[in-house]
Every structure is written in structure tokens, then in C-alpha cells.
């Protein structure tokens, strides 16, 4: 991909926004949707992509490879799924992407690839990722193994029916990360403490950051609004950094290291610090894995 101007174009639409405006009012709804859009932008950039434009509560993004788009689609769902409900309404995403040649003009993208990606997003259900048969052919074997053929259907603007594929990004109750690969399920427990208080553990994802809607709210000046997540995959607990200044990890008895838009499988006993080394922060999250 790339030699003929080919890109993977991805559309992510915030599902539930209309209902949210009705139940929560304009101010709360607009704030919640803006939080989603910010998270989508951060995920896109972390995956090596670019936000082309925002259209209301939908974002159009582009990636150099189909695999990168698949990884971003997975992460977008993970991050938005971790956000708490707003006045009883749980937001989600409908995602579609397609890889192929594009026309770039005036900081925008045009062409059949863009149109088909948009149609795929329209067909996706909340929590779903749809792509095309042509795009699946670009996937690496590991990512291709995480897809399934749904059916062929006629889409507006296409003379022939399009074979729709679903990207399987989640196997209930544990989240499977396309980018990192599935981890075999086994028993595992995680204990967390913040400012001397035990943090209720999550069966799926724990969001940490300065934003007041995060599961764990930190106040450090160098922490990001949505700094990192800790998610359960099988019997493992994986820390993923999304921040500007990095997430510092200290495993007991070992040297401290920092994650920059990277993942780390938590082990043993240790501490996690947000934007600053543990020695310079009062916001460290203590953990113990077993």
C-alpha cells in the first residue's frame, strides 16, 4: 500500500449521541461527545494515523496500512467503551474502514475508497467494526484471522454488491487487542491502591487520567486527561499509555522505566506514575498482580 496513493480510510461515528442530547441536555451531551472525539484523535495519532476532519459526532481518519487501521479501530472501541454512562446513556462507536487509492486535495480525501469507508460505517452496529473483502486481503495473517465474513449487500454508489467483513475486536467478557494479539485465558487478580485507598478492580478496562470522568482521577500537572488504561485480557492485566509525558512503571526490586504510547503486561508488585517519575509524584498507583 502507499505507492499509488493508497491509504486505509476509517470513519468512526459516536452512537447514542442523539439520545444523549435528549436525556442529558446540550451542555452535558456536548461535553461527553467532545471527550469521545478527543479520545479518537489520540488513538489515531498513537497508531500512526491522521485525523482528516470531524463531521459533527463522526471522525474521518487515515492510516498508512490496513493493519494500522484495524489496530486503531480496536483501540477506539476499547477507550470509548471504558467511558462511564452519562445520565444513564452509554455511548459507543460504529466504525467502518476501507483500504485503496485516494485523491488528496485541500487537506481532504476523496474517491471511491472514502465513499465506501463511509458506507461501511453507516452499516455498522454500535460496538462493531466493518470492513471490505478488498481490505481483508491487505491484512497480515494475524489480523486476518480476527475477521469473519458476514454477507454481501448492495451499497449506495457501488454497481456490484460488497462483501462485508466484521473485525472481531472483543470476545466477552475479556477484550482481545488486535495489535498485541490475544492472550490465553487463565485465572488472575489485580489489586490497586491510590492515595491509600483501594481502587475497585474492573473486569474489563480501568481509565486513568485528569478527566473527572476517569475511573481513577489523578491531579498531577504532567498527567494527561486520559492518561492510560489498564485492561484485562484473559488472565493478564495490560497497561497502555496514551499520554503526552509518559507512564512510569516500577516493578519492586527493578529499575523504573517509562512507556510512551506502548503496552506493558503488569506483573508482581509495583507502582505506576503519571507524567512524572514515582519519586517526583504523590499520585502513584500501587498494584499487585497474582
In a domain, 182, yes or no: no
- The answer to whether the CB of 208 falls within 8 A of the CB of 230 is yes
pLDDT of 5: 63
| Domain co-membership, 31 together with 138 | yes
Looking at the fold, whether 160 and 208 belong to one and the same domain comes out as no
3-state helix, strand, coil in the chain (%, to 5): 25, 40, 40
Last residue within a domain, chosen from 136, 151, 175: 175
Q: Are residues 150 and 214 in the same domain?
A: no
- Give the Cα-Cα-Cα angle 220, 24, 34 (nearest 5 degrees): 45
Q: Is 184 within a domain?
A: no
pLDDT of residue 180: 38
Phi/psi at 214 (5° precision): -70, 155
- Give a yes or no: residue 181 inside a domain: no
Domain limit, last residue, from 175, 203, 236: 175
Residues ≥6 apart with Cβ < 8 Å to 174 = 185, 204, 232, 233, 234
* Same-domain status, 232 and 163: no
pLDDT, tens digit, 9 for 90 and up, residues 16-65:
777 778 777 888 888 888 889 999 999 999 889 999 999 888 999 999 99
Domain that holds residue 260: 190-289
Same domain, 165 and 209: no
Examine the pLDDT at 212 and tell me if it is beyond 90.
Answer: no
Residues 127 and 55 both lie in one domain: yes
Is 183 a member of any domain?
Answer: no
Please tell me the total count of domains within the chain.
2
pLDDT in tens, 123-141: 888 889 999 999 999 998 8
Matching residue, cell 490465553 = 184
27 and 145 share one domain = yes
Q: What is the CATH number of the domain that holds 229?
A: 2.60.200.20
pLDDT at 184 over 70: no
CATH number at residue 163: 3.30.70.1230
Residues in the chain: 290
31-65 in b/e form (b: 16+ CB < 10 A) is ebbebbbebbbbbbebbebebbeeeebbbbbbbbb
The model's pLDDT over 142-181, given as tens digits with 9 standing for 90+, comes to 888 889 888 777 777 666 788 899 998 864 333 334 443 3
Amino acid at each position: 500500500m502507499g505507492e499509488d496513493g493508497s491509504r486505509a480510510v476509517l470513519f468512526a461515528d459516536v452512537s447514542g449521541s442523539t439520545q444523549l442530547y435528549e436525556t442529558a441536555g446540550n451542555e452535558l451531551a456536548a461535553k461527553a461527545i467532545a471527550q469521545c472525539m478527543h479520545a479518537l484523535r489520540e488513538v489515531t495519532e498513537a497508531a500512526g494515523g491522521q485525523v482528516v476532519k470531524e463531521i459533527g459526532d463522526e471522525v474521518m481518519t487515515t492510516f498508512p496500512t490496513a493493519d494500522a487501521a484495524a489496530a486503531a479501530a480496536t483501540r477506539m472501541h476499547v477507550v470509548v467503551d471504558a467511558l462511564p454512562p452519562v445520565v444513564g446513556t452509554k455511548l459507543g462507536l460504529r466504525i467502518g474502514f476501507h483500504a485503496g487509492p485516494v485523491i488528496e486535495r485541500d487537506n481532504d480525501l476523496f474517491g471511491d475508497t472514502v465513499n465506501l469507508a463511509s458506507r461501511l460505517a453507516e452499516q455498522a452496529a454500535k460496538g462493531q467494526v466493518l470492513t471490505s473483502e478488498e481490505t481483508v486481503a491487505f491484512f497480515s495473517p494475524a489480523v486476518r484471522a480476527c475477521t469473519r465474513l458476514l454477507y454481501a449487500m448492495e451499497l449506495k454508489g457501488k454497481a456490484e454488491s460488497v462483501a462485508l467483513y466484521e473485525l472481531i475486536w472483543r470476545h466477552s467478557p475479556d477484550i482481545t487487542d488486535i495489535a498485541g494479539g490475544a492472550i490465553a485465558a487463565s485465572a488472575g487478580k489485580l489489586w490497586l491502591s491510590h492515595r491509600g485507598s483501594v481502587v475497585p478492580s474492573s473486569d474489563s478496562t480501568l481509565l486513568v487520567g485528569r478527566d473527572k470522568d476517569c475511573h481513577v482521577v489523578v491531579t498531577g500537572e504532567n498527567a494527561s486527561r486520559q492518561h492510560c488504561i489498564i485492561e484485562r485480557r484473559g488472565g493478564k492485566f495490560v497497561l497502555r499509555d496514551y499520554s503526552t509525558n509518559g507512564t512510569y512503571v516500577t516493578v519492586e526490586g527493578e529499575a523504573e522505566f517509562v512507556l510512551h504510547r506502548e503496552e506493558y503486561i503488569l506483573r508482581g508488585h509495583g507502582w505506576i506514575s503519571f507524567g512524572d517519575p514515582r519519586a517526583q509524584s504523590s499520585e502513584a498507583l500501587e498494584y499487585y498482580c497474582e
